[in-house]
């Protein structure tokens, strides 16, 4: 009979702490009953993908709504797949989205370190315990031997992996192991799996409901030959010691679940509750494809670079995550999303489709609900980085810009002029001399001389102090004097009897003052532009006719 304690000492002479030490160092969290501890655990293998917002938001809501904790853990155990700068990008991306972690590599916390590469000693301590209990063993098989095993399995058309008769090192004696260690042979540590493909495990996923999965029969690697843990061991040890109650992650992890549950069992830990959420799909032609890290433009922050407000992107993702979000938003147009009663029950287990048109629409609504000051703050932040010239123009006189951004804002039906910040310049540029230019032509067939007469008459009676009614009376008056019908209804009954109608008269003024056929309410625009500028533009336009 193998002396497993002796084996543990032989394999881990460097490990002097016990698992009890860590259990005490990271005690159960002192949280109210029902509080959920959740985490986002990205590997720094590339930029943060748009789909990453899904698990992040679910984790965030579960923690916040229950008075729990949401932390960030960097899973960097796979040095080969690591991408330089990825960790910084992760931190920056969530900062830009205003998503705050309670504990992280930046903030620290009592359950850290929050970077797996700094927890090597912890994993080794727990691995040593498995060895001491006869649940793990060293494997000295070389790459060549493993390749040959694989070839045999392929030829026999059987499952790949280190199991059953292929698990050659599983039954090595203590002396055999000692001889190899003494000879300096490198080894990995493997789990002595007690699972069988004939057995099923029953499991309840929080979004998918009851699931049956086949047990794991593979003696997976727990520690690599460099002593670093394999991802799966790190997940189990960390989520136990960091006292995670709920693991929300992508569905690609579902096949690993039997192994994870087996590891929790081997350690005698209570597993967390799991939720595996469907991956985001996109349409390519008629085919649905997974949105992957390789997709250009799928990076989370590229939506911000392209001019979306982070709030808009978050709100769009919530429409996909919870089927009742849009009803809630209609009933609570001004509430912050943080108070949305997020519910796991309202999540769909099937994949959702990324719809850029919907994102744009949601964004228009989100921006329409913002105050002028909020729009100003976000817009100037974006222009500072992406359109310096426009930035300088709109920040020259913030009150002026704020009055422009206030047009049509604040009422029950706010204007929905922009979905993205890059749409603001073309829309409000005419308010600034740098961008003002008459780009449109009158709609309809009009004599230049008539337009000129209309504008000259208008200039003669224009009084900036007029209120809106007085202003419109004057426009009607000019219409009457110049052969344009002052009443549109009347005009429609006899269009040939007139040169046009009062709407055309305002169009001439609008063109002269804004340069465009479509602009917000003309009276308001003129009030903001100011008398001098309006007169200057009218005169200048008359000179071109």
Q: Which is nearer to ligand GLU, 349 or 442 (CB)?
A: 349
- Verify binding: residue 41, ligand GLU, rule CB under 6 A: yes
Decide: is 49 part of the binding site for ligand GLU (CB under 6 A).
no
- Among the listed ranges 41-49, 94-102, 473-481, 489-497, the one in contact with ligand GLU (CB under 6 A) is 41-49
Here the tokens at position 452 are 């000129």
* Residue 41 vs 105, nearer CB to ligand GLU: 41
Of 253 and 435, which has the nearer Cβ to ligand GLU?
A: 253
Stretch that binds ligand GLU, among 19-27, 35-43, 360-368, 383-391 (CB under 6 A): 35-43
Closest CA to 136 of 61, 38, 236: 236
Decide: is 282 part of the binding site for ligand GLU (CB under 6 A).
Answer: no
Please report how close the Cβ of residue 135 comes to ligand GLU at its closest, in angstroms: 22
Place of tokens 């540590």: 189
Interface segment toward ligand GLU; rule CB under 6 A; list 37-45, 120-128, 337-345, 346-354: 37-45
* Contact mark string toward ligand GLU, 337..366, x via CB under 6 A: ------------------------------
Q: Least Å distance between CB 396 and ligand GLU?
A: 46
CA-nearest of 34, 29, 239 to 116 is 239
Nearer to ligand GLU, 260 or 364 (CB): 260
CB of 200 to ligand GLU, least distance (A): 22
Count the residues in the chain: 545
Instruction: Could you list the beta-strand ranges (E) of 259-339.
Output: 273-277, 281-284, 287-290
Closer of 249 and 425 to ligand GLU (Cβ): 249
Q: Is 342 helix (H, G, I), strand (E, B) or coil?
A: coil
Give dist(CA 327, CA 331) in Å, integer: 6
Which range, of 245-253, 349-357, 415-423, 492-500, touches ligand GLU by CB under 6 A? 245-253
Task: Among 9, 22, 26, 75, indicate the residue that binds ligand GLU (CB under 6 A).
Answer: 75
CB 322 within 8 A of CB 343: yes
Q: Cα–Cα distance between 505 and 430 in angstroms, integer?
A: 20
Minimum separation from the CB atom of position 253 to ligand GLU (A): 6
Measure the CA–CA gap between 310 and 99, rounded to whole angstroms.
10
> Of 279, 236, 278, 242, nearest to 260 (Cα)?
236
Instruction: Say if CB 296 and CB 290 are below 8 A apart.
Output: no
Tokens representing 341 are: 């009663």
Q: Is 43 in the site for ligand GLU (CB under 6 A)?
A: yes
- β-partners of residue 240 are none
Q: What gap in Å lies between CA 352 and CA 418, rounded to an integer?
A: 26
Determine which residue in the list 49, 208, 249, 501 makes contact with ligand GLU, applying CB under 6 A.
Answer: 249
- Looking only at residues 467 through 526 of this chain, which bind ligand GLU when binding is defined by CB under 6 A? none
| 86 counts as binding ligand GLU under rule CB under 6 A | no
- The Cα–Cα gap between 472 and 205 comes to 65
Token couple for 374: 């909020």
Distance between CA atoms of residues 46 and 44, nearest Å: 6
For ligand GLU, which stretch binds (CB under 6 A), given 30-38, 246-254, 475-483, 512-520?
246-254
The residues in 185-244 that bind ligand GLU, with binding defined as CB under 6 A, are: 235
Q: Smaller CB distance to ligand GLU: residue 190 or 235? A: 235
Distance, CA of 32 to CA of 459 (rounded, Å): 71
Interaction between residue 78 and ligand GLU (CB under 6 A): no
Stretch that binds ligand GLU, among 40-48, 79-87, 141-149, 355-363 (CB under 6 A): 40-48
Cis peptide before 235 (omega within 30 of 0): no
Contact positions with ligand GLU (CB under 6 A) in 291-310: none
| Angle subtended by helix axes 120-132 and 257-267, to nearest 10 | 70
Cβ proximity to ligand GLU: between 39 and 541 the closer is 39
Dihedral class, residue 67 (left if φ above 0, else alpha if ψ from -120 to 50, else beta): left
Contact between 124 and ligand GLU by CB under 6 A: the answer reads no
Which lies closer to ligand GLU via its Cβ, residue 68 or residue 419? 68
Pick between residue 274 and residue 430 the one whose CB is nearest to ligand GLU.
Answer: 274
State the Cα–Cα distance between residues 377 and 424, nearest whole angstrom: 13
Whole-number minimum distance, CB 69 to ligand GLU, in Å? 16
Which two structure tokens, joined as six digits, stand for 21?
């030490």
Question: Given candidates 4, 22, 26, 253, which one binds ligand GLU under the rule CB under 6 A?
Answer: 253
- Residue 156: how many CB atoms within 10 A of its CB? 8
Q: Which is nearer to ligand GLU, 75 or 87 (CB)?
A: 75
Give the side-chain half-sphere CA count within 13 A for 94: 24
d(CA 534, CA 509) in angstroms, rounded, equals: 10
Chain residues binding ligand GLU by CB under 6 A are 41-43, 75, 235, 247, 249, 253
């Amino acid at each position: 009979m193998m002396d497993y304690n002796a084996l543990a000492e032989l394999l881990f002479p460097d490990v002097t702490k016990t698992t009890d030490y860590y259990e005490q160092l990271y005690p159960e969290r002192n949280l109210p009953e029902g509080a959920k501890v959740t985490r986002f655990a990205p590997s720094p293998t590339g930029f943060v993908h748009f789909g990453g917002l899904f698990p992040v938001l679910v984790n965030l809501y579960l923690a916040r709504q229950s008075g729990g904790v949401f932390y960030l853990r960097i899973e960097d155990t796979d040095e080969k797949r690591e991408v330089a700068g990825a960790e910084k990008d992760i931190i920056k991306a969530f900062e830009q989205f205003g998503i705050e972690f309670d504990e992280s590599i930046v903030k620290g916390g009592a359950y850290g370190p929050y970077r797996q590469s700094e927890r090597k000693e912890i994993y080794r301590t727990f691995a040593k315990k498995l060895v001491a209990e006869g649940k793990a063993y060293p494997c000295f098989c070389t790459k060549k031997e493993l390749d040959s095993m694989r070839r045999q399995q392929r030829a026999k058309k059987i499952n790949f992996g280190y199991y059953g008769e292929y698990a050659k090192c599983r039954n090595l004696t203590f002396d055999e192991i000692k001889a190899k260690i003494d000879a300096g042979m490198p080894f990995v540590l493997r789990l002595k799996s007690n699972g069988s493909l004939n057995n099923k495990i029953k499991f309840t996923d929080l979004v998918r409901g009851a699931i049956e999965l086949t047990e794991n029969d593979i003696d997976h690697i727990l520690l690599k030959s460099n002593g670093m843990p394999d991802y799966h061991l790190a997940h189990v040890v960390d989520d136990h010691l960091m006292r995670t109650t709920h693991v929300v992650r992508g569905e690609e992890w579902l096949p690993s679940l039997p192994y994870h549950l087996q590891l929790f069992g081997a350690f005698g830990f209570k597993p967390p509750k799991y939720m595996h959420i469907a991956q985001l799909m996109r349409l390519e032609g008629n085919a649905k494809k997974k949105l992957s890290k390789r997709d250009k433009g799928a990076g989370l922050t590229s939506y911000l670079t392209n001019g979306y407000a982070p709030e808009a992107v978050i709100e769009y993702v919530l429409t996909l995550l919870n089927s009742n979000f849009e009803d809630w938003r209609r009933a609570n147009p001004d509430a912050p999303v943080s108070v949305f009663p997020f519910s796991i029950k309202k999540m769909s287990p099937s994949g959702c489709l990324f719809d850029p048109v919907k994102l744009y629409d949601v964004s228009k609504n989100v921006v329409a609900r913002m105050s002028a000051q909020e729009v100003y703050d976000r817009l100037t932040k974006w222009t500072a980085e992406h359109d310096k010239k426009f930035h300088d123009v709109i920040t020259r006189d913030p009150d002026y810009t704020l009055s422009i951004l206030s047009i049509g804002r604040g009422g029950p039906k706010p204007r929905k002029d922009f979905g993205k910040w890059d749409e603001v310049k073309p829309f409000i540029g005419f308010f600034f001399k740098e961008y003002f230019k008459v780009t449109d032509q009158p709609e309809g067939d009009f004599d230049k001389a008539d337009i000129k007469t209309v504008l000259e008459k208008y200039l003669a009676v224009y009084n900036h102090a007029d209120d809106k009614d007085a202003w419109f009376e004057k426009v009607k008056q000019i219409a009457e004097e110049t052969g344009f019908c002052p009443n549109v209804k009347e005009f429609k009954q006899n269009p040939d009897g007139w040169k046009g109608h009062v709407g055309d008269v305002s169009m001439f003024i609008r063109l002269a003052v804004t340069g465009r056929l479509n602009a917000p309410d003309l009276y308001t625009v003129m009030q903001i532009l100011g008398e001098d500028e309006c007169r200057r533009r009218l005169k200048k336009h008359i000179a071109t006719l």
